[in-house]
Amino acid sequence: MSPEEWTYLVVLLISIPIGFLFKKAGPGLKRWGAAAVGLGLTLFTCGPHTLHSLITILGTWALIQAQPCSCHALALAWTFSYLLFFRALSLLGLPTPTPFTNAVQLLLTLKLVSLASEVQDLHLAQRKEMASGFSKGPSLGLLPDVPSLMETLSYSYCYVGIMTGPFFRYRTYLDWLEQPFPGAVPSLRPLLRRAWPAPLFGLLFLLSSHLFPLEAVREDAFYARPLPARLFYMVPVFFAFRMRFYVAWIAAECGCIAAGFGAYPVAAKARAGGGPSLQCPPPSSPEKAASLEYDYETIRNIDCCGTDFCVRVRDGMHYWNMTVQWWLAQYIYKSAPVRSYVLR
C-alpha cells in the first residue's frame, strides 16, 4: 500500500471512535465539533491547498445569496468550472494539489450543488405559498431556512465522508444535528453487521495486488506478453481495485453509523443519498424512539454482493457508489434541458 492509501485508511478508522463521541452530543457540539475535526483533517492532509475548497464554498454561498431562485444551475456551473481550473493547475504552472485535496474537492462539489438545489427548492416553495395566500406544513425534505455562511462552512467541512463519501444532503446533516433522542438510535450492532466483510476484502486486496501488481502494466515487458495474457491480467487488477474501494466505503459507512448519522426509521423508506421518501413524525419520547426500527440506507454507498454478482451493467451502476448515483439522477439527469435518452 502507498503512503496515501495508509493515510486514507487511518482517517477512515479514526472517524469511527470519533463518531461514538459525537453521537449523543448536542446540536451545537455536533455542528462545530464535527466541522473542527473535518477542517483539521483537511489542513493536515491538504495544507495550503485547503484554500481551493474555501474559495469554492464562498463562491457558492455568494451565488445562493444573490440568486436563490436559480442558484442550482449557477452553483453547478461555478463548482464544475472551478473543478476544471483545479484539474488544470499543473498545466498553468501552479502548484499541483495533493491527492487528498482532489478527494475533498470532488465531495465538496457534490455537496455544494446539492445545497444550492435545496435552497432553490425552499425559495420556490415559499413563493408558491405566498402566491396561494396560505401557509402549508413542512414538506418532505425541505429546509427550514437558508443556511448562513457559518452553517454552510460547517456542513462543507463536516468530517463525515469528507474524503471518501458517502455523499449526503444538507437536510440529512440537519436531521443528524437535531436527532431528538440520539441515545435510542442503535449504532454498535449495525456497525458490526456492516463491518464484518471488510477484513476479508482487505486481505483479498493485499493478496491480489501482491500477485498481480498494477505497476507491472507500466513496464515494457508487459507488452511483450501475448494479448490473451494481457487481457487476463486486467481481471485481477480490477478485482484489487474493487476490493480497495469496498474496504474504504465500508469503513466510511461505519464512521457514519458510529455517529448515528443518516439513521432513519425503517417506515421512512430512506434512499441512498436522498434520505426519507415518506413522511415519518419524530418520536415524542425516548421509549417511543427506542421502540422504532432504524436503518442506515441514506448513507449506504456500496452493495458489494450486488456489484460482483449482478448480470446487467445498469444494475452494476446502481449498486456501485450509490449515493453519487442518486446525486447524478437528482441534480443532473432530471434537470437536463433535453430529456433525450442519449443525454441521460
Any idea which residue has 452494476 for its cell?
Answer: 316
Asked, for residue 40, whether it belongs to a domain, the answer is yes
pLDDT digits (tens, 9 = 90+) for 226-285: 999 899 999 999 999 999 999 999 999 999 999 999 999 999 999 999 999 888 888 888
pLDDT digits (tens, 9 = 90+) for 237-254: 999 999 999 999 999 999
70 grid coordinates:
436559480
Q: What is the pLDDT of residue 316?
A: 82
Our count of domains for the chain comes to 1
The answer for residues whose C-beta is within 8 angstroms of residue 195's C-beta and 6 or more apart is: 250, 251, 254
The total number of residues written for the chain in this structure: 344
Residue 81 has pLDDT above 80, yes or no: yes
Mean local confidence (pLDDT), 70-98: 92
Q: Are 77 and 85 in contact (CB under 8 A)?
A: no
Q: What is the pLDDT of residue 342?
A: 55
pLDDT digits (tens, 9 = 90+) for 16-51: 999 999 998 999 999 999 999 999 999 999 999 999
Structure-model confidence comparison of residues 2 and 123, the more confident one: 123
Distance CA 224, CA 67 (A): 59
Asked, for residue 251, whether it belongs to a domain, the answer is no
Does residue 166 have a cis peptide bond before it, meaning omega lies within 30 degrees of 0?
yes
pLDDT digits (tens, 9 = 90+) for 182-222: 999 999 999 999 999 999 999 999 999 999 998 888 888 88
pLDDT digits (tens, 9 = 90+) for 279-305: 888 888 888 888 899 999 999 999 998
Average pLDDT, the chain: 90
- Containing domain of residue 106, as a range? 1-178
Q: What is the pLDDT of residue 343?
A: 53
Residue 309 has pLDDT above 60, yes or no: yes
Q: What is the pLDDT of residue 269?
A: 92
Residue 136 has pLDDT above 60, yes or no: no
pLDDT digits (tens, 9 = 90+) for 163-185: 988 999 999 999 999 998 999 99
Q: What is the pLDDT of residue 341?
A: 56
Residue 139 has pLDDT above 80, yes or no: no
Asked, for residue 31, whether it belongs to a domain, the answer is yes
274 grid coordinates:
436522498
Asked, for residue 221, whether it belongs to a domain, the answer is no
Three-state SS across the chain?
CCHHHHHHHHHHHHHHHHHHHHHCCCHHHHHHHHHHHHHHHHHHHHHHHHHHHHHHHHHHHHHHHHCCCCHHHHHHHHHHHHHHHHHCCCCCCCCCCCHHHHHHHHHHHHHHHHHHHHHHHHHHHHHHHHHHCCCCCCCCCCCCCCCCHHHHHHHHCCCCCCCCCCCCCHHHHHHHHCCCCHHHCCCHHHHHHHHCCHHHHHHHHHHHHHHCCHHHHHCHHHHHCCHHHHHHHHHHHHHHHHHHHHHHHHHHHHHHHHCCCCCEEHHHCCECCCECCCCCCCCCCHHHHHHCCEECHHHCCECHHHHHHCCCHHHHHHHECHHHHHHHHHHHHCCCCCCCCCCC
Any idea which residue has 492509501 for its cell?
Answer: 5
Asked, for residue 102, whether it belongs to a domain, the answer is yes
149 grid coordinates:
455562511
Asked, for residue 185, whether it belongs to a domain, the answer is no
Q: What is the pLDDT of residue 340?
A: 52
pLDDT digits (tens, 9 = 90+) for 314-335: 888 888 999 999 999 999 887 7
